[in-house]
Amino acid sequence: MEFLRKLKSFIWSKHFLKHFVMIIAAYIVIVGGTIFILDFTTNHGQKIEVPNLYGKNVKNIQAQLDELGLTYEILDSIYDPKKPEGTIVSQDPGPTDSTDVFVKEGRILKLRVSKKTNLVEMPSLLDKSERFAQSVLKNRGLKYKITYKPTSEANGAVLDQKYNGHSIKEGTRVPVGATIHLVVGRNEVGAPVQIPNLNGLTISEVKVRLSGMSSLNLFETYMNCANAADSASARVSSQSPEYIEGVMSPSNTTVTIILDKNYTGDSSTGGE
C-alpha cells in the first residue's frame, strides 16, 4: 500500500506532469511535422489523369505534358514503316480512362515510338565469293550492285564493299534496303589480236589506228623532238611487238613505239 501511495504521489507531482506534457508535445511536433513533410514532398492526395498518347507524334506532346506537370522518356524505337516517324506506339503507365491509374506531378511516362528505318549490321564480305556475298546481303534485306575489276588473283572474290561511295567496315549499321556496292575481281583473258603495222605513222594516226582495239595498250617515246610541233609531226620509226602478218598477240599487250622527227622511212607502209 505504501508503494501505491508513493507512485500516486509521484504521478501527480509537478515534476512528472511537466515532463509528461513535454513528451506529448514533442511527439505531436515530430509526428505531425513528419506527416506534413511527407504530404508536401510526395504530393499526397494529388491525382493527375494520365493522358492517352497512343498514335500521337512525340514531337507534339510536350505542351500537353507541361500543362499536367508530367515528363516523358523514350525507352525504345520500334521499326514500323507504315507509321510516321516518332508515332507513339506504347506508354507506361497507360491512359487513366482505360486503366483507372492516376499519377502525381513530375511522373515520367515511359514511351516507345515508331521508326521507318530498320538498321542491320554490315557483314564482312571481303575475299568471299560473289555468289556467297549476294546471298548474305539478300538475307539481311540489303540490295547490291556489282562492278568487276581486272585482277590476276582472287578471281570471282569480293575485293571491296562500299556504301554511299565509301568502303564500309564490318559491323557498321546500315538501313534495311540500302544498296551495297561490291567490287569483284575478275581474271579476264581476252581473245588474241593482230598487232597492226604502225611504221611511218604520226602519233595522231597511230591513235586512230588503235582506237578500235581497246584490248591493246600504247606506250610512246620521242626522238629529235624539241617542241610539241616536232612531236606531232614525228613518225613511228620502230614498234614492239613488230607487225608480222598472221601472228596474233595476247589481249592487253602493250605496243611500244618510237617516234622520230627525222624519220625518213616509207610512210606508206603503215597502211598494211
As a whole number, mean pLDDT of residues 2-26 equals 68
Check residue 43 and give its pLDDT. 53
- Highest-pLDDT range among 31-40, 169-178, 239-248: 169-178
Give yes or no for residue 33 having a pLDDT over 90. no
CATH number, domain 193-271, options 3.30.10.20, 3.90.76.10, 3.90.650.10, 3.40.1160.10 = 3.30.10.20
Asked if 48-115 and 193-271 have one fold, the answer is yes
Between CA 269 and CA 237 the distance in angstroms is: 11
Strand partners, 238: 258
Q: How far apart are CA 128 and CA 180, in angstroms?
A: 15
pLDDT of residue 271: 47
Which pLDDT band holds residue 190 (cuts at 50, 70, 90)?
Answer: low
- In percent, the amount of the chain with pLDDT more than 70 equals 83
Judged against a pLDDT cut of 70, whether residue 4 lies above it is answered with: no
State in words which class domain 48-115 has. Answer: alpha beta
Instruction: Break the chain into its structural domains and give their ranges.
Output: 2-41, 48-115, 120-186, 193-271
Domain 120-186 has CATH 3.30.10.20: yes
pLDDT value of residue 171: 92
- The pLDDT score that the predictor gives to residue 225 is 92
Q: What is the pLDDT of residues 213-255, one digit of tens each?
A: 767 888 999 999 999 999 999 999 999 888 888 888 877 788 9
Global pTM reads 0.40
Q: Measure the CA–CA gap between 135 and 145, rounded to whole angstroms.
A: 13
More confident residue, 1 or 237: 237
Q: What are 128-158's pLDDT values in tens digits? A: 999 899 999 999 999 999 998 887 667 789 9
Geometric angle at alpha carbon 139, from 132 and 128, rounded to 5°: 20
Q: What local confidence, expressed as pLDDT, does residue 44 receive?
A: 53
* Banded model confidence at residue 200, pLDDT cuts 50, 70, 90: very high
pLDDT in tens, 89-113: 999 999 998 888 898 888 999 999 9
> In sequence order, what are the residues at sequence separation of 6 or more whose Cβ sits closer than 8 angstroms to the Cβ of residue 176?
117, 118, 119, 120, 140, 141, 142
Q: What is the mean pLDDT of the chain?
A: 84
DSSP H helical ranges for the chain: 2-11, 14-41, 62-68, 96-99, 130-139, 203-210, 228-233
